[in-house]
Amino acid sequence: MNSIAAPNRTDGGAFTGPDARIDLVRLLLAAAVIAALVITFTPFTVTFNGNTDNGNVINQLGYSGLAAIVLAGHVLFTDRFVLMSLMRPTWMLMLGWLTASALWAPDPENAFRSGLFTVLAMVSVSGFLCFPRNPRHFRIALTIGVLAAVLLCYFGVIALPGLAIDDGSDEGGAHLGMWRGIYSHKNIAGAVMGAFFFCGVYLWRCGDRMMGLAVAALTAVFVLKTGSKTSTLLLPIVAIMIVFLRLIAGRRLLAIGIAAMLVVMGLLTVGTVLSPALNDILQAIVPGTTFTGRMDLWRFALEVFRGHEWTGFGLNSFWQTPVVGGTEKNFELSWDPRGSPNAHNGYLDLAISLGWPGLGFALLVLVVMPLLDYQKVGRDDESRRLGDLFLMILTYLLLGSFLETFLFERANPIWMLVWMSVAGLRLLAANNVRGAAAPAPD
């Protein structure tokens, strides 16, 4: 938002003065952008295809058009300092490696198209952060976008249960009766609603008590009804951990605690298929754990990945391609990888797609730099609350990514929320540094 990058501007919430109409347009545009990104351009899609919808014409037109609108909005409304803050060199390297992966992909055209539309979606997210003139307008836009998605999900459950509630036709009826709302899978719905829960907490902390309570309650109930064990378990853990560490320790200790939790989660998930000792620890803690067959899927992916460690297969160039489809069925595996849309581990999928260098860039961009940015966020109430919101959403979704794949998946609303948090922390930190460097008035 522009007030983050232009602290000299007034921060009033009313639409008054000569720019009132422009401010209203900016707010409504921001609300429309976030609503489009979290609702997606294909709501109530009942077939879960992971990231294979990159060739969907509706998605291509939708994200292209949205990015074009946002770019035009930046030209008209956005402070130059904000735009420069978003041109972070490390981000540019990440995006460069992502698009370069098309050069060695089996299908370069598809890989390049995937990279291009991923970048366009990330550009679209920036509009939601930059267009509101001040934090109050940002909260209004956020409330509109979140409520639009949440109420549409509940509308689906009530009026369109055949689309919004799993009928048990997939995976042997294991998901029968679980809510998915406007999304294609219960796990997507669970992660998105979990992130929205933190938006409710943020609104409550900012004084919008009734709205914050309503959003938190509606989303918490929906998370439970999705039956997503990962989303349900992580929600209280992240909330309690961040609140507790914020009360007893400083930001640095909180960042270290989050980094440690991510490392432990990595060791106890995909790490267990690399190290028998880690698997023994996991089985001692939770006997018989296979993460619903994911461990077999990870073993298969790592075996096929050998020989491609430095380049990967290219973005969206592994699952549901001849690379996997051409393998023989392994009857010892509990999950046939030839029918899987992804590895159900976002970090492993990044390594498979972009190689170890690409995974390294991603960890730097999504984990290390946001945690450093959080420590630079301003100490005023507005910045502190907003920084906490972005940190909670980011932590929640990064932990969930050890069991689901959505990182750099441009048609996935979970990825939109991840990038919103990363870019939001960047803008908050940049504004604070700019304010500290500004000369004192005479």
Rounded Cα gap, residues 145 and 92, in angstroms: 28
C-beta separation of 344 from 403 below 8 A: yes
Which pLDDT score, from 0 to 100, does residue 438 have?
A: 44
- Band (pLDDT 50/70/90 cuts) for residue 316 is confident
Specify the residue for token string 């730099």.
369
Residue 46 above 80 pLDDT? Answer: no
Mean pLDDT of all residues belonging to the chain = 88
Residue 132 above 60 pLDDT? Answer: yes
Q: Is residue 418 part of a domain?
A: yes
Pairwise pLDDT comparison (366 vs 104), residue with the higher score: 366
Number of compact structural domains in the chain: 1
Which pLDDT score, from 0 to 100, does residue 261 have?
A: 95
| Residue closest to 318 by CA, chosen among 299, 333, 337 | 337
Which pLDDT score, from 0 to 100, does residue 55 have?
A: 59
Domain residue limits at 183? 2-434
**What is the arithmetic mean of pLDDT over 169-184?**
82
- Band (pLDDT 50/70/90 cuts) for residue 111 is confident
Q: Is residue 207 part of a domain?
A: yes
Q: Is residue 39 part of a domain?
A: yes
Residue 175 above 60 pLDDT? Answer: yes
Q: Is residue 163 part of a domain?
A: yes
φ/ψ of 174, rounded to 5, equals -65, -25
Residue 8 above 50 pLDDT? Answer: no
Q: Is residue 266 part of a domain?
A: yes
Q: Is residue 440 part of a domain?
A: no
Pairwise pLDDT comparison (268 vs 320), residue with the higher score: 268
Which pLDDT score, from 0 to 100, does residue 265 have?
A: 96
Pairwise pLDDT comparison (347 vs 1), residue with the higher score: 347
Q: Is residue 439 part of a domain?
A: no
Pairwise pLDDT comparison (49 vs 301), residue with the higher score: 301
* Amino acid code (one letter) for 358: G
Residue 9 above 50 pLDDT? Answer: no
- Band (pLDDT 50/70/90 cuts) for residue 435 is low
Which pLDDT score, from 0 to 100, does residue 412 have?
A: 93
Rounded Cα gap, residues 319 and 338, in angstroms: 7
Specify the residue for token string 């994911």.
294
Which pLDDT score, from 0 to 100, does residue 392 have?
A: 96
Which tokens in the block code for residue 399?
Answer: 């932990």
Which pLDDT score, from 0 to 100, does residue 317 have?
A: 84
Q: Is residue 441 part of a domain?
A: no
Residue 442 above 50 pLDDT? Answer: no
